[in-house]
Amino acid sequence: MNKLKAVILAAGKGTRMNSDLPKVIHKCLGRPMVHYVIQACKDAGAGEVCVIVGYKGREVKDAIYDVVDYVEQKEQLGTGHAVKCAKDFIGTEGDTLVLCGDTPLITGKTLTELVEKHRKEANGVTVLSAILDDATGYGRIIRDAAGNFEKIIEHKDATEEERACKEVNSGMYIFNSEALSASLDLLSNDNAAGEYYLTDTIALIKKIGLKVSALPLTGDACDEIRGVNTIDQLEEAEQIMCHRED
């Protein structure tokens, strides 16, 4: 049985929430947002889960009642740097899911489908994507003429033609753990923000000849990739969750 781990990014403050509370522990239907992400990973078969904490890390740990490991990201140097902080946890065996702690609508069912596709195709990394009517602001999944994954391009860096693409990056992935560990060592922060981007690992993994693929969500399932950055978005997530339970 292939080992499956999960890394959840939960180090940010979330300034747009207009609150001193770390973003991921704002409550959605009475439970911290990050709880739902942890549960979805465990439902998909993750035997170990590591939460990366930073801003008010002690508060985040105190709010999480699930059994998880923790790693501290002392400086906020980008998503790639955050995952690199968990490199010892990731190791080189099996596969590792990487998600953000502010996506409470993700389900174990969808992550299970992602894991199954990744393993069936023997991919180096598989991206969870979504087909959106309005893709503004999201990184785009660019495919070649045959429909194969080519690259992820951020909205701000995309050409008009690339921006017309409706398939977006959810920021949720499953990596071959060995490939992820190796690519984290090669990450550079040579960009405008001076940050280490997790998406750069995908190009590195593709470059060494491993397969990269994306699983697109459509219709109502696209709600699962919604990140919560504001109180309004938190309320919308709660409404969607309530309808699920009806």
**pTM for this one?**
0.96
Whole-number CA gyration radius for the chain: 17
Return the domain boundaries, the chain.
Answer: 4-240
Pair type for strands 31-32 and 149-153: unpaired
One-letter-per-residue 3-state SS of the chain: CCCEEEEEEECCCCHHHCCCCCHHHCEECCEEHHHHHHHHHHHCCCCEEEEEECCCHHHHHHHCCCCCEEEECCCCCCHHHHHHCCHHHHCCCCEEEEEECCCCCCCHHHHHHHHHHHHHCCCCEEEEEEECCCCCCCCEEEECCCCCEEEEECHHHCCHHHHCCCEEEEEEEEEEHHHHHHHHCCCCCCCCCCCCCCHHHHHHHHHCCCCEEEEEECHHHHHHHCCCCCHHHHHHHHHHHHHHHC
Q: Classify the C-alpha dihedral 107-13-174-67 as positive or negative.
A: negative
CATH code of the domain made up of 4-240: 3.90.550.10
Residue 225: predicted pLDDT = 98
Whether 119 sits among the annotated catalytic residues: the reply is no
Q: What pLDDT score does 206 carry?
A: 96
Determine contact, residues 129/123, Cβ cutoff 8 Å: no
Query: Catalytic: which of 16, 58, 163, 244?
Result: 16
Q: Determine the pLDDT at residue 191.
A: 84
> For every one of its 246 residues, what pLDDT tens digit does the chain have, with 9 covering 90 and above?
689 999 999 999 889 999 999 999 999 999 999 999 999 999 999 999 999 999 999 999 999 999 999 999 999 999 999 999 999 999 999 999 999 999 999 999 999 999 999 999 999 999 999 999 999 999 999 999 999 999 999 998 899 999 999 999 999 999 999 999 999 999 999 988 899 999 999 999 999 999 999 999 999 999 999 999 999 999 999 999 999 865
Task: Supply the pLDDT for residue 244.
Answer: 86
Cα dihedral sign, 105-108-113-118: positive
Q: How many CB atoms lie within 10 A of CB 117?
A: 16
Find, among 58, 38, 144, the residue nearest to 100 by Cα.
Answer: 38
